[in-house]
Structure 1
Amino acid sequence: MKNSDTFYNFDSLKENFFFNSELELRTTLSNFLIEDIGTGDITSNLLIPQEKTSSGTMVCKNDDKGRTIIASGLAEAKMIFEICDCDVTQLVKDGSVISKGTEVMSISGSARSILKAERTALNIVMRMSGISTKTRQFVDKLGDLSQFVRIASTRKTAPGLRYFDKKAVVLGGGIAHRKRMDQLILIKDNHIAVVGSVKKAIELAKSAFGDKRKIECEVVNLDGIVDAINSGADIVMLDNFTPEMVRHSLEKIREFGLRDRVIIEISGGINYDNIYDYASSRPDVISIGSLTHSVKSIDYSLEISS
């Protein structure tokens, strides 16, 4: 059976995950700061002398209520403070399990600079930690099945935040799926409606790219699965199937001797309450849009001590 990690070539925590260089990432984070600061922090500039220095600690304030919290976005927050000429020590590694009261970062430098960077840094950490934490909840729900079934994100990310959203999924134990539309041919229902059939759509894709691009095809029934596999799809996405439909379809393609030729992805209508039912049929990937489009942030604060 094809391995979903190596097949998608997910190496999502490298520096080039989205950006070609650290400079590109710094530029993006600088633009986030510009969006927040505008022409200047008039409140801090009014109240705080330019020469005043301070120090502070970023602390997790979330009431975990028994759930695992995953710290995420700390590397990016550190860079934001450094862009503002602060001295930063990251106390916790991204992807670590933390709890309420955990100190994740210490910052020192100009008081104005710390306050200038504070909200942008916290926003990144809160959002990314929320995504990582939610991803880990889904992974943990699978138990031993997580050895065989991977949780993936989708392109349902906030514009401008895809790097951060998808990196957070990876830090939570998931996989990123495609980062952009140019990385994978994904034939969806509307493509098939225009072209006319699964077989014709895949043939057109292969005639243009051959084996240079992986092909994923979305299907809505067993016949579509068989057509997609026989036409040469690398990945078949079972869209809006019920758990019973997934189980029946996978049993059938095993009977037909087709299971080992393809990665099976499940998508649509999957939530925390029903994911185990889907995973029990042992698809390769379950993609969940709510990991990134319905984010519940993890609460952090910056506590300045002087």
Structure 2
Amino acid sequence: MSSSLEHFEYLLPPSWKTQVTAWLQEDTPSFDYGGFVVGEAQREAYLLGKGHQAAVLAGKPFFTEVFEQLGCEVEWHMEEGQTFEPVKHVATVRGKARHVLLGERVALNMLARCSGIATKSKRILDIARGCGYQGIIAGTRKTTPGFRLVEKYGMLVGGIDCHRYDLSSMIMLKDNHIWSSGSITTAIKQARKVGGFSQLVEVEVGSEAEADEAIDAGADIIMLDNIEGDQLAPVARRLRDKWSGKRKFLFESSGNITETNLHERAINEIDILSTSVVHQSVQHIDFSLKIQKPKDV
């Protein structure tokens, strides 16, 4: 099987096309007044990648599905995950004028955000690799309700890990879980009862002592929360030395990671760096869809 980015769409669940239908229904809940004006003449529209800097294209399956549901066809002129310099003729959409315009804003809004997330993800990954970091860069679950599928897809296209997709993906025990259950050990035991062998257990800890307890109780991933700066590497080294040959686990560091401070956190004692900077408040990529003037007009 090919590993091409073109095939990321194979990951999408059977329900994903109904989300596109819902977007179209939301955008035109009653009369399409503009559609009445332009009618059903066959038209050709150019999708242009604009803005002021290089960007990564992401979201092709969603964009294509918008227009296919409206009876239009899309011809792509570049591959998913490719970087382009503006202004770039990215794709051509063909169909009835009113149908092209019905899908225009829905498709552009989605593509702008998905490509923005992919662009930011790639930039963060490139910075980390430039610092010599060989671990995993991951997004977070702090996604937009109803739009998570697109945002996680953008992370994948940008080259980073999605982390867990939802609450059913892996078991993450944070401070509220631990306080409510009484202790780290109790929380892990309860999680193992229902999660079985197939679910990894990650535990958020705020100190080296709490990390010790989580490792001893059998956690698979230790999130070193609030352990940053000069403390991070020494704590990770001490714990690895102590548990070497006794337990297998990964270390994760999360929170307050930016492009400017990434070099301080990108240490290879930490296996996973997770951050919401790749999808929260990310700059969208500017795209436009321009219907071409008929040659006979």
Can you give the 5+ residue segments of structure 1 that lack an aligned partner in the other structure? Answer: 1-11
Q: Output the amino acid matched with 2:200.
A: K
* Alignment partner of 1:31 is 2:16: no
Question: In 1, are the aligned partners of 2:201 and 2:220 still within 8 Å (CA)?
Answer: yes
Aligned to 1:9: none
Aligned residues: 286
Q: Which residue of 2 aligns with 1:265?
A: 252
Q: CA RMSD in A?
A: 1.8
Shift of 1:69: 1.4
Paired amino acid for 2:38: I
Q: TM-score, normalised by structure 2?
A: 0.91
- Match for 2:177 among 191, 201, 210? 191
> Is the deviation greater in 108-117 or in 251-260?
251-260
Q: 1:209: Cα distance to partner?
A: 3.1
Deviation at 1:103, TM superposition (A): 1.4
Q: How far does residue 281 in structure 1 lie from its aligned partner after superposition? A: 4.0
CA gap of 1:41–1:258, structure 2 versus 1, over 3 A, is farther
Partner deviation per Cα, 1:150-192 (whole Å, 9 max, x = no partner): 1111111110011100010111011111111012110000111
Instruction: Determine whether 1:294 maps to 2:281.
Output: yes
Q: CA deviation at 1:40?
A: 3.1
Output the CA distance in 2 between the equivalents of 1:124 and 1:226: 44
Partner of 1:230: 216
Q: Is the 8 A contact 2:133 2:268 kept in 1?
A: no
Name the aligned partner's letter for residue 75 of structure 2.
Answer: T
1:217 to 199, 203, 208: 203
Matches within 5 A, 1:137-152: 137-144=123-130, 148-152=134-138
Letter aligned with residue 303 of structure 1: K
Match of 2:44 in 1: 55
Give the share of equivalent positions with the same residue, in percent. Answer: 29
Q: 2:241 aligns with which of 255, 268, 275?
A: 255
Residue identity opposite 1:60 in structure 2: G
Which residue in the other structure is 1:98 paired with? 84
Contact kept? 1:129, 1:298, Cα under 8 Å: yes
For residue 13 of structure 1, the aligned residue among 8, 14, 26 is 8
2:113 is aligned with 1:131 = no
Instruction: Output the CA distance in 1 between the equivalents of 2:108 and 2:132.
Output: 31
Question: Are the aligned partners of 2:59 and 2:111 in contact in 1 as well (CA < 8 Å)?
Answer: yes
Contact 2:58–2:157 (8 Å) recurs in 1 = yes
Identify which of 131, 148, 151 aligns with 1:165.
151
What is the identity, as a one-letter code, of the residue corresponding to 2:267? Answer: S
Paired residue for 1:278?
Answer: 265
AA aligned opposite 2:215:
I
Secondary structure at the aligned position of 1:121 is classed as: helix
The TM-score, its normalising length taken from structure 1, stands at: 0.88
Q: Which runs of 5+ in 2 are unaligned?
A: 1-6
Structure 1 residue ranges (4+ consecutive) displaced by more than 4 angstroms after TM superposition: 144-147
Alignment of 1:86-125 (within 5 A): 86-125=72-111
Rounded Cα–Cα distance in structure 2 between residues aligned with 1:208 and 1:103 = 51
Aligned to 1:59, the other structure's residue is in SS state: strand
Aligned partner of 1:8 in structure 2 is none
Aligned 8 A contact 1:229 1:258 in 2? no
| Alpha-carbon offset, residue 270 of structure 1 | 1.2
Following the alignment from structure 2 to structure 1, what is the Cα–Cα distance between the partners of residues 97 and 141?
A: 38
Distance 2:196 2:94 in 1: 55
